[in-house]
Amino acid sequence: MFDPSMQRQSNRIFGAVIGIVVDNKDPEGRYRVKVKFPWIRESSVKYTNEPDSSDFRSSWARITTPLAGSRDGEARGFFFLPEVDDEVLVMFELGDIRRPVVVGNLFNGVDKAYHDNNAQLGANNYRSFRSRSGHMIVFHDDDAAGQERIIIETKVPNTDVEVDPMERQGHTIVLDHSTEAEKIQIYDSKKENYVLIDSTNNKISVVSEQGDITLSAPLGTVRIECASLHTESTGNTSMEAGMNMKMEAGTNMDLEAGGVLTEVASKIKLN
Protein backbone atom coordinates (compact mmCIF):
# COMPACT_ATOMS: atom_id res chain seq x y z
CA MET A 1 0.00 0.00 0.00
CA PHE A 2 1.22 3.51 -0.76
CA ASP A 3 2.81 5.12 2.30
CA PRO A 4 2.92 8.94 2.04
CA SER A 5 5.76 8.97 4.56
CA MET A 6 8.02 7.53 1.87
CA GLN A 7 7.85 10.88 0.06
CA ARG A 8 9.01 12.84 3.12
CA GLN A 9 12.10 14.93 2.62
CA SER A 10 13.40 16.71 5.73
CA ASN A 11 10.02 16.36 7.45
CA ARG A 12 8.15 17.56 4.35
CA ILE A 13 5.42 15.76 2.44
CA PHE A 14 5.06 16.36 -1.29
CA GLY A 15 2.10 15.24 -3.38
CA ALA A 16 -1.58 14.81 -2.49
CA VAL A 17 -2.77 12.89 0.58
CA ILE A 18 -6.13 11.77 1.97
CA GLY A 19 -7.66 13.26 5.10
CA ILE A 20 -10.95 13.31 7.02
CA VAL A 21 -12.51 16.61 8.15
CA VAL A 22 -12.81 16.77 11.95
CA ASP A 23 -13.73 20.44 12.52
CA ASN A 24 -15.23 23.24 10.39
CA LYS A 25 -15.88 25.82 13.12
CA ASP A 26 -12.93 28.13 12.56
CA PRO A 27 -12.60 30.37 15.67
CA GLU A 28 -11.54 33.23 13.40
CA GLY A 29 -14.59 32.77 11.17
CA ARG A 30 -12.43 32.01 8.15
CA TYR A 31 -13.10 29.50 5.39
CA ARG A 32 -10.99 26.69 6.86
CA VAL A 33 -11.26 23.20 8.32
CA LYS A 34 -9.17 20.86 10.41
CA VAL A 35 -8.32 17.46 9.01
CA LYS A 36 -7.11 14.22 10.55
CA PHE A 37 -4.61 11.96 8.81
CA PRO A 38 -5.10 8.38 10.07
CA TRP A 39 -2.00 7.23 8.18
CA ILE A 40 0.38 9.51 10.13
CA ARG A 41 1.87 7.87 13.21
CA GLU A 42 3.08 10.06 16.05
CA SER A 43 4.95 7.30 17.87
CA SER A 44 8.73 7.48 18.16
CA VAL A 45 9.01 4.32 16.12
CA LYS A 46 8.35 5.50 12.58
CA TYR A 47 7.26 2.33 10.87
CA THR A 48 5.15 0.10 13.09
CA ASN A 49 1.75 -1.42 12.63
CA GLU A 50 0.63 -0.27 16.07
CA PRO A 51 -2.02 2.49 15.91
CA ASP A 52 -1.59 5.66 17.95
CA SER A 53 -4.05 6.46 20.71
CA SER A 54 -5.47 9.25 18.50
CA ASP A 55 -5.18 10.32 14.87
CA PHE A 56 -2.90 13.19 13.94
CA ARG A 57 -4.84 16.41 13.32
CA SER A 58 -3.77 19.23 11.06
CA SER A 59 -3.65 22.93 11.78
CA TRP A 60 -6.43 24.99 10.17
CA ALA A 61 -6.41 24.23 6.44
CA ARG A 62 -7.45 26.67 3.76
CA ILE A 63 -9.70 25.39 0.96
CA THR A 64 -9.30 25.96 -2.76
CA THR A 65 -12.39 27.78 -4.03
CA PRO A 66 -13.29 29.02 -7.55
CA LEU A 67 -13.16 32.82 -7.87
CA ALA A 68 -12.21 33.32 -4.20
CA GLY A 69 -11.20 36.89 -3.42
CA SER A 70 -12.69 40.30 -2.76
CA ARG A 71 -13.13 43.72 -4.32
CA ASP A 72 -13.64 46.93 -2.38
CA GLY A 73 -14.04 44.86 0.77
CA GLU A 74 -16.83 42.70 -0.71
CA ALA A 75 -16.03 38.97 -0.75
CA ARG A 76 -16.77 36.90 -3.86
CA GLY A 77 -16.43 33.30 -4.98
CA PHE A 78 -18.07 29.99 -4.12
CA PHE A 79 -18.83 28.95 -0.52
CA PHE A 80 -18.89 25.17 -0.13
CA LEU A 81 -17.43 24.43 3.30
CA PRO A 82 -16.77 20.69 3.78
CA GLU A 83 -18.77 18.85 6.42
CA VAL A 84 -17.25 17.00 9.38
CA ASP A 85 -16.39 13.40 8.34
CA ASP A 86 -16.03 14.36 4.65
CA GLU A 87 -13.11 12.72 2.88
CA VAL A 88 -10.86 15.36 1.33
CA LEU A 89 -7.72 15.59 -0.77
CA VAL A 90 -4.98 17.64 0.89
CA MET A 91 -1.67 19.11 -0.21
CA PHE A 92 0.91 21.12 1.73
CA GLU A 93 2.50 24.44 0.83
CA LEU A 94 6.11 23.66 -0.11
CA GLY A 95 5.56 20.27 1.49
CA ASP A 96 5.21 21.82 4.97
CA ILE A 97 2.71 19.72 6.94
CA ARG A 98 1.98 22.76 9.10
CA ARG A 99 0.47 24.54 6.07
CA PRO A 100 -2.24 22.23 4.67
CA VAL A 101 -4.58 23.16 1.81
CA VAL A 102 -7.74 21.20 0.97
CA VAL A 103 -7.93 20.91 -2.81
CA GLY A 104 -11.17 18.92 -3.11
CA ASN A 105 -13.73 16.52 -1.65
CA LEU A 106 -13.88 12.81 -2.52
CA PHE A 107 -16.70 10.32 -2.86
CA ASN A 108 -15.85 6.84 -1.63
CA GLY A 109 -17.32 3.39 -1.07
CA VAL A 110 -19.48 4.64 1.80
CA ASP A 111 -20.22 8.22 0.71
CA LYS A 112 -21.24 7.38 -2.84
CA ALA A 113 -22.12 9.75 -5.68
CA TYR A 114 -25.85 10.25 -6.22
CA HIS A 115 -25.67 9.81 -10.02
CA ASP A 116 -24.79 6.38 -11.43
CA ASN A 117 -23.24 6.71 -14.87
CA ASN A 118 -23.22 2.92 -15.28
CA ALA A 119 -27.02 2.98 -14.97
CA GLN A 120 -26.99 5.61 -17.73
CA LEU A 121 -24.96 3.20 -19.90
CA GLY A 122 -22.11 5.69 -19.83
CA ALA A 123 -24.18 8.53 -21.29
CA ASN A 124 -23.01 10.93 -18.53
CA ASN A 125 -26.06 13.18 -18.97
CA TYR A 126 -26.06 14.92 -15.58
CA ARG A 127 -24.12 17.83 -14.12
CA SER A 128 -25.51 18.74 -10.73
CA PHE A 129 -25.09 20.16 -7.24
CA ARG A 130 -26.92 18.73 -4.21
CA SER A 131 -26.83 20.26 -0.74
CA ARG A 132 -26.94 18.45 2.60
CA SER A 133 -30.74 18.92 2.79
CA GLY A 134 -31.28 17.66 -0.75
CA HIS A 135 -31.70 20.99 -2.54
CA MET A 136 -30.49 20.52 -6.12
CA ILE A 137 -29.43 22.30 -9.27
CA VAL A 138 -29.29 19.87 -12.20
CA PHE A 139 -28.12 20.30 -15.79
CA HIS A 140 -29.70 17.45 -17.78
CA ASP A 141 -27.94 17.15 -21.16
CA ASP A 142 -29.56 14.16 -22.86
CA ASP A 143 -29.33 15.72 -26.32
CA ALA A 144 -29.55 12.29 -27.98
CA ALA A 145 -33.10 11.89 -26.62
CA GLY A 146 -33.91 15.56 -27.10
CA GLN A 147 -34.15 16.15 -23.34
CA GLU A 148 -32.16 19.22 -22.38
CA ARG A 149 -33.13 21.16 -19.27
CA ILE A 150 -32.03 22.89 -16.10
CA ILE A 151 -33.81 21.93 -12.87
CA ILE A 152 -33.79 23.75 -9.53
CA GLU A 153 -35.61 21.86 -6.79
CA THR A 154 -35.85 21.60 -3.00
CA LYS A 155 -35.74 18.49 -0.83
CA VAL A 156 -34.82 15.86 -3.43
CA PRO A 157 -34.32 12.40 -1.83
CA ASN A 158 -31.03 10.74 -2.70
CA THR A 159 -32.92 7.93 -4.43
CA ASP A 160 -34.95 10.31 -6.64
CA VAL A 161 -32.29 12.55 -8.17
CA GLU A 162 -33.07 11.25 -11.68
CA VAL A 163 -36.86 10.95 -11.26
CA ASP A 164 -38.95 13.39 -13.30
CA PRO A 165 -39.19 16.60 -11.21
CA MET A 166 -42.98 16.64 -11.56
CA GLU A 167 -43.07 13.33 -9.67
CA ARG A 168 -41.02 14.63 -6.74
CA GLN A 169 -42.26 16.58 -3.72
CA GLY A 170 -40.06 19.68 -3.62
CA HIS A 171 -40.61 23.20 -4.92
CA THR A 172 -39.49 23.15 -8.56
CA ILE A 173 -38.22 25.41 -11.33
CA VAL A 174 -37.60 23.73 -14.68
CA LEU A 175 -36.09 25.41 -17.73
CA ASP A 176 -36.90 22.81 -20.36
CA HIS A 177 -35.35 22.99 -23.83
CA SER A 178 -36.45 19.49 -24.84
CA THR A 179 -37.46 18.85 -28.44
CA GLU A 180 -41.13 19.75 -29.08
CA ALA A 181 -41.63 20.39 -25.36
CA GLU A 182 -39.95 23.72 -24.68
CA LYS A 183 -41.30 25.31 -21.52
CA ILE A 184 -40.52 27.01 -18.24
CA GLN A 185 -42.26 25.61 -15.14
CA ILE A 186 -42.47 26.94 -11.59
CA TYR A 187 -44.31 24.58 -9.22
CA ASP A 188 -44.84 24.43 -5.47
CA SER A 189 -44.29 21.18 -3.59
CA LYS A 190 -47.96 20.15 -3.90
CA LYS A 191 -47.96 20.86 -7.66
CA GLU A 192 -51.20 22.83 -7.11
CA ASN A 193 -49.83 26.36 -7.56
CA TYR A 194 -47.75 26.95 -10.66
CA VAL A 195 -46.68 29.15 -13.54
CA LEU A 196 -46.23 27.50 -16.93
CA ILE A 197 -44.65 29.22 -19.93
CA ASP A 198 -45.32 26.82 -22.80
CA SER A 199 -43.10 27.87 -25.70
CA THR A 200 -44.15 24.92 -27.87
CA ASN A 201 -47.86 25.84 -27.71
CA ASN A 202 -47.26 29.58 -27.28
CA LYS A 203 -49.20 29.74 -24.01
CA ILE A 204 -48.71 31.08 -20.47
CA SER A 205 -50.69 29.70 -17.52
CA VAL A 206 -50.85 30.97 -13.93
CA VAL A 207 -52.79 28.52 -11.75
CA SER A 208 -53.76 28.22 -8.09
CA GLU A 209 -55.95 25.13 -7.85
CA GLN A 210 -57.00 25.63 -4.22
CA GLY A 211 -56.06 29.23 -3.35
CA ASP A 212 -56.04 32.82 -4.60
CA ILE A 213 -54.09 34.84 -7.17
CA THR A 214 -53.40 38.52 -6.49
CA LEU A 215 -52.07 41.18 -8.86
CA SER A 216 -51.19 44.34 -6.96
CA ALA A 217 -49.73 47.74 -7.91
CA PRO A 218 -50.63 50.09 -5.00
CA LEU A 219 -48.99 53.13 -6.61
CA GLY A 220 -49.03 52.09 -10.24
CA THR A 221 -51.25 50.76 -13.03
CA VAL A 222 -52.22 47.20 -13.87
CA ARG A 223 -52.79 47.06 -17.62
CA ILE A 224 -54.22 44.15 -19.61
CA GLU A 225 -53.94 44.41 -23.39
CA CYS A 226 -55.09 41.62 -25.69
CA ALA A 227 -56.99 40.85 -28.90
CA SER A 228 -59.85 39.19 -27.01
CA LEU A 229 -60.67 39.13 -23.29
CA HIS A 230 -62.84 36.51 -21.60
CA THR A 231 -63.57 36.49 -17.86
CA GLU A 232 -65.68 33.89 -16.08
CA SER A 233 -66.35 33.02 -12.44
CA THR A 234 -68.42 30.19 -10.98
CA GLY A 235 -69.38 32.41 -8.02
CA ASN A 236 -69.75 36.17 -7.58
CA THR A 237 -67.93 38.84 -9.57
CA SER A 238 -67.22 42.26 -8.08
CA MET A 239 -65.69 45.36 -9.68
CA GLU A 240 -65.12 48.51 -7.60
CA ALA A 241 -63.49 51.88 -8.32
CA GLY A 242 -62.55 54.42 -5.67
CA MET A 243 -63.22 57.21 -8.17
CA ASN A 244 -64.47 57.07 -11.77
CA MET A 245 -65.23 53.95 -13.80
CA LYS A 246 -65.61 53.92 -17.57
CA MET A 247 -66.76 51.02 -19.76
CA GLU A 248 -66.82 51.60 -23.51
CA ALA A 249 -67.53 49.39 -26.54
CA GLY A 250 -66.59 50.30 -30.10
CA THR A 251 -69.75 48.65 -31.41
CA ASN A 252 -72.37 46.79 -29.37
CA MET A 253 -72.62 46.18 -25.62
CA ASP A 254 -75.02 43.75 -23.97
CA LEU A 255 -76.05 43.74 -20.30
CA GLU A 256 -77.98 40.66 -19.23
CA ALA A 257 -79.10 39.27 -15.87
CA GLY A 258 -80.90 36.03 -15.12
CA GLY A 259 -82.60 37.81 -12.21
CA VAL A 260 -83.00 41.47 -11.31
CA LEU A 261 -80.82 44.18 -12.90
CA THR A 262 -80.44 47.09 -10.47
CA GLU A 263 -78.99 50.52 -11.26
CA VAL A 264 -78.47 52.96 -8.38
CA ALA A 265 -77.06 56.49 -8.75
CA SER A 266 -77.79 60.08 -7.73
CA LYS A 267 -78.61 60.70 -11.41
CA ILE A 268 -78.88 58.31 -14.36
CA LYS A 269 -78.47 59.63 -17.92
CA LEU A 270 -79.58 57.52 -20.88
CA ASN A 271 -78.36 58.91 -24.22
Distance between terminal CA atoms of the chain? 101
Classify the phi-psi angles of 15: left when phi > 0, otherwise alpha if psi is within -120 to 50, otherwise beta: left
Q: Is 145 helix (H, G, I), strand (E, B) or coil?
A: helix
Percent of the chain scoring above 90 in pLDDT: 69
Q: Is the pTM of this model over 0.95?
A: no
Which DSSP symbol is given to 191? S
Q: b/e per residue, 203-213, with b = 16+ CB within 10 A?
A: eeeeeeeeeee
Cα 250 to its chain centre, rounded Å, is 50
Q: Which of 90, 84, 123 is nearest to 14 (CA)?
A: 90
Domains and CATH numbers, the chain: 4-106 (2.40.50.230), 126-208 (no CATH)
Half-sphere exposure of 156 (CA within 13 A, CB side): 26
Instruction: Assess whether pLDDT exceeds 90 at residue 5.
Output: no
Residue 176's CB is within 10 A of a number of other CB atoms, namely: 20
Phi, psi of 37 (to 5 degrees): -120, 95
Give mean pLDDT, residues 83-102.
96
The DSSP result for 16-55, as a single string, is -EEEEEEE---TT--SEEEEEETT---SSSSS-SPPPSS-
Q: Which of 66, 107, 67, 63 is nearest to 86 (CA)?
A: 107
Give mean pLDDT, residues 227-249.
92
Give mean pLDDT, residues 68-91.
95
Angstrom distance (rounded) from CA 65 to CA 77: 7
Q: Of residues 8 and 113, which shows the higher confidence score?
A: 113
Residue 40 banded pLDDT, cuts 50, 70, 90: confident
Residue 50, CA distances (Å) to 2, 36, 170 in order = 17, 17, 49
Q: pLDDT tens digits, residue range 130-181?
A: 999 999 999 999 888 888 999 999 998 888 888 888 888 889 999 999 888 8
Half-sphere exposure of 115 (CA within 13 A, CB side): 17
> Which residue type does 13 have?
I
